[in-house]
């Protein structure tokens, strides 16, 4: 069967069981958009290529399947680089297809030409420039294989226009031919024995669960390990939901804005069992002062993560689920630990939890203090998150942007299920939430999908709500509108003597309700605590279009606890009530 390169590409995507792709056509990719008309693959037409990338990320994280995005050459390719970098940092499987000028024009500074494979070299797991239409099925098969196996990540196929128009004899390859690619899978039994021995010898162990738990679908295995050993668990920003917050042994999020108990348990631990986590600087704080008394067992599928930041006592290069299952078997073989072996340690942690809970001053009722013509809202952002949690189903997928609202969402939402939390963890990409929520809802139409966004973030990618309306993707967006680039403001407050530089955005510009409505969404505004739950309930009832709620929140509110950048986690600063002693925030 003779096909054009473009037809072969689309057919290859069908062979990979792609059900949806996110994209925007243009000159160099035009040939591929023609067979799309006849393909069963759903195409979501975005308004900006970055949106296509983040939608594919949201889709991938909600479904566990690779996300697919397709855009044209030049500026379209550069527009999607941010999403590739984001996916690379957070190990999200993406397959991105970019158009490219004809092979004869490559290197001539042709119209809409960029060196896309060169530009994306450092932000993809691998990329290809297709030079022969006969290679297309093989490359597509390898692309999906690389994106989804081992440590997942984004890959990119750069597709010149003449290759798309060339003809080839269709075939589907039997497998991949990658002599240099051997992703880890099963753990070394000797390393597992050594790890189990360290675990059973520990008195103050902590499981440091990272995003690898979700990537390897290891939540059940983790549950079994915890049931067997009674070891408390911290779940990193990328692992929220991998172990339920409602479990008494879940200490919540560690790190810069982590719970006091989670941060301090790691600091005082004599053993850290790191499972699919990478000792990120936002978790460790000052590395030399991080968990100084702890031996470390580090399980990761990426060998380069073992010892990159902290040299482990036992390193296990393996799929997280297989390693945890092996550990469970090994610990059982040793003889399961006594029920009370960790009682003193757990009692200590309970004291920390009781003494330093994650807390905030309750919202005053009404719409806030008026001075002259302006009114300062007193609605607490944390209260909005708690109200949202209370009013939505347990398996709601929560998506966030980056900043204060993201930290509050992680702190005050109670995550019960894997893959219900989607955010930009490693790259910290403002503007992630709206498109990622759309991608998540496309992948999981059966679930309620809420995005919590900041007013700064929202303005970066809000145009994708037009996509959501046009494609009938009923996402719900809660803007915590504090009229500032809030996290930057907080740092200027704490570390730059309250000299606020270029952080004020205005609560009314743009008019978020009007903007939402102009894009076919329902727009609501909430200014007092009393209005919060009714507005959420109203939004939950709307299932035929997106909803945006503009929550006017207290701009003075700050994220606590905080470990100042570069400080030791021992120097964690917990919440200081502004209505209480008025104590200075920092030592």
Partner 1 sequence: MSADQRRYGPRHRLLSVLVENKAGVLARVAGLFSRRGYNIYSLAVAPTDNERFSRISIVVDVESAPLEQVVAQLDKLINVVEIGELHPDEAREAELLLVSVSVDARQRSQVIELVGVFGGRIVDVGHDAITVMVAGTPEAIDDFEDLMRPYGIAGLQRTGRIALPKLDGRSSASGAAAPPVGIA
Q: Could you tell me the smallest distance in angstroms from the CB atom of residue 106 to partner 1?
A: 11
Residue 278 binds to partner 1 (criterion: CB under 8 A): no
For partner 1, the binding residue among 308, 350, 362, 472 (CB under 8 A) is 308
The smaller minimum CB distance to partner 1, of residues 126 and 257, is found at 126
Tell me if residue 487 is catalytic. Answer: yes
Cα distances from 244 to residues 138, 217, 222, 223, 249, in angstroms, run 41, 14, 11, 9, 9
CA separation for the pair 226, 559 (Å, rounded): 30
Using the rule CB under 8 A, give the single segment among 66-74, 300-308, 414-422, 479-487 that binds partner 1.
Answer: 300-308
Shortest Cβ 115–partner 1 spacing (Å): 10
Q: Of 49, 113, 325, 464, which is the active-site residue?
A: 49
Q: Which of 45, 121, 287, 390 binds partner 1 (CB under 8 A)?
A: 121
492 is catalytic: no
Phi and psi at 39, nearest 5°, equal -95, 145
Report the alpha-carbon distance of residue 114 to residue 101 in Å, rounded: 9
Question: Is residue 117 part of the contact set for partner 1 (CB under 8 A)?
Answer: yes
CB of 537 to partner 1, least distance (A): 48
DSSP secondary structure letters along 154-187? EEEEEEEHHHHHSEEE----SS---TT-----SP
- Which residue lies nearer to partner 1 by CB, 177 or 517? 177
3-class SS of residue 65? coil
**302 touching partner 1, by CB under 8 A:** yes
Query: Between 289 and 309, whose beta carbon lies closer to partner 1?
Result: 309
CA distances 319 to 82, 150, 425, 476, Å, are 28, 8, 21, 35
304 interacts with partner 1 by CB under 8 A: yes
Catalytic residue of the set 11, 125, 161, 295: 161
- Catalytic residue, chosen from 111, 169, 530, 537, is 111
Q: What phi and psi values does residue 525 have, to the nearest 5 degrees?
A: -125, 140
Distance, CA of 526 to CA of 272 (rounded, Å):
44
Residues 150-169 that bind partner 1 (CB under 8 A): none
Decide if residue 146 touches partner 1 (CB under 8 A): yes
Given candidates 75, 107, 118, 344, which one binds partner 1 under the rule CB under 8 A?
118
Give helix 189-201 / helix 320-334 axis angle, nearest 10°: 60
125 catalytic? Reply is no
Answer yes or no: 161 catalytic. yes
Query: Residue 116 CB, nearest distance to partner 1 (Å)?
Result: 12
Decide if residue 175 touches partner 1 (CB under 8 A): no
Cβ at position 73, least distance to partner 1 in Å: 17
Beta-sheet pairing, 94-100 with 154-160: parallel
Residue 491 makes contact with partner 1 by CB under 8 A? no
Is the distance from CB of 213 to CB of 276 less than 8 angstroms? yes
Question: Rounded to 5 degrees, what are φ and ψ at 304?
Answer: -70, -15
306 scored as a contact of partner 1 (CB under 8 A): yes
Task: Give catalytic status of residue 290 as yes or no.
Answer: no
Q: Phi first, then psi: what are they for 449, rounded to 5°?
A: -120, 120
Q: CA–CA separation, 272 vs 204, rounded Å?
A: 9
Least distance CB 177 / partner 1 (angstroms): 10
Q: How many CA atoms lie within 13 A of 247 on its CB side?
A: 23
Binding site residues, partner 1, CB under 8 A = 117-118, 121-122, 125-126, 129, 131, 146, 178-181, 302-304, 306-308
Q: Cite the active site residues.
A: 49, 111-112, 161, 487
């Amino acid at each position: 069967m003779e096909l054009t390169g473009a037809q072969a590409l689309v057919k290859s995507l069908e062979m990979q069981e792609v059900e949806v792709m996110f994209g925007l056509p243009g000159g160099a990719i035009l040939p591929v958009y023609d067979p799309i008309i006849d393909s069963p693959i759903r195409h979501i037409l975005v308004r900006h290529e970055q949106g296509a990338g983040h939608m594919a990320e949201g889709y991938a994280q909600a479904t566990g399947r690779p996300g697919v995005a397709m855009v044209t050459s030049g500026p379209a390719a550069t527009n999607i680089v941010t999403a590739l970098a984001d996916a690379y940092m957070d190990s999200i499987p993406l397959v991105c297809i970019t158009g490219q000028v004809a092979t004869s024009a490559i290197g001539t500074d042709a119209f809409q030409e960029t060196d896309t494979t060169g530009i994306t070299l450092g932000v993809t797991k691998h990329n290809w420039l297709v030079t022969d239409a006969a290679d297309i099925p093989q490359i597509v098969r390898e692309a999906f294989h690389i994106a989804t196996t081992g440590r997942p990540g984004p890959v990119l196929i750069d597709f010149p226009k003449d290759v798309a128009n060339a003809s080839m004899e269709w075939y589907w390859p039997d497998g991949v031919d990658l002599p240099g690619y051997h992703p880890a899978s099963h753990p070394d039994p000797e390393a597992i024995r050594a790890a189990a021995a360290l675990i059973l010898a520990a008195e103050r162990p902590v499981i440091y669960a990272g995003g690898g738990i979700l990537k390897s679908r290891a939540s059940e295995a983790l549950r079994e390990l915890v049931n067997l050993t009674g070891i408390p668990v911290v779940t990193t920003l990328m692992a929220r939901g991998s172990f339920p917050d409602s479990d008494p042994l879940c200490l919540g999020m560690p790190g810069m804005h982590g719970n006091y108990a989670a941060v301090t348990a790691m600091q005082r631990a004599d053993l850290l069992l790191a499972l699919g986590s990478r000792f990120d600087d936002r978790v460790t704080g000052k590395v030399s002062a991080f968990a100084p008394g702890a031996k470390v067992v580090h399980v990761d599928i990426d060998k380069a993560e073992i010892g990159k930041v902290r040299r482990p006592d036992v390193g296990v290069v393996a799929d997280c689920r297989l390693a945890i299952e092996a550990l469970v078997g090994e610990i059982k073989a040793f003889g399961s630990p006594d029920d009370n072996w960790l009682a003193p340690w757990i009692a200590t942690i309970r004291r920390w939890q009781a003494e330093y809970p994650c807390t905030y001053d309750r919202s005053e009722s009404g719409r806030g203090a008026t001075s002259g013509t302006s009114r300062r809202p007193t609605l607490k952002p944390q209260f909005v998150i708690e109200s949202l949690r209370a009013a939505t189903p347990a398996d709601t997928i929560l998506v966030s942007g980056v900043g204060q609202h993201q930290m509050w969402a992680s702190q005050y939402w109670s995550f019960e299920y894997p893959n219900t939390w989607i955010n930009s963890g490693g790259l910290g990409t403002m503007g992630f939430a709206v498109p990622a929520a759309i991608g998540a809802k496309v992948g999981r139409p059966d679930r309620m999908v809420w995005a919590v966004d900041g007013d700064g973030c929202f303005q970066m990618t809000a145009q994708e709500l037009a996509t959501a309306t046009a494609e009938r993707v009923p996402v719900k967006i809660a803007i915590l509108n504090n009229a500032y680039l809030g996290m930057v403001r907080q740092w200027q407050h704490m570390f730059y003597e309250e000299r606020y530089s270029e952080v004020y955005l205005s609560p009314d510009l743009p008019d978020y309700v009007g903007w939402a409505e102009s894009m076919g969404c329902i727009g609501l505004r909430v200014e007092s605590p009393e209005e919060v739950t009714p507005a959420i309930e109203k939004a939950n009832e709307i299932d035929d279009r997106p909803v945006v709620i503009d929550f006017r929140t207290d701009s003075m509110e700050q994220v606590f606890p905080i470990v100042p950048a570069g400080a030791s986690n021992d120097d964690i600063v917990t919440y200081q009530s502004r209505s209480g002693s008025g104590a200075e925030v920092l030592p």
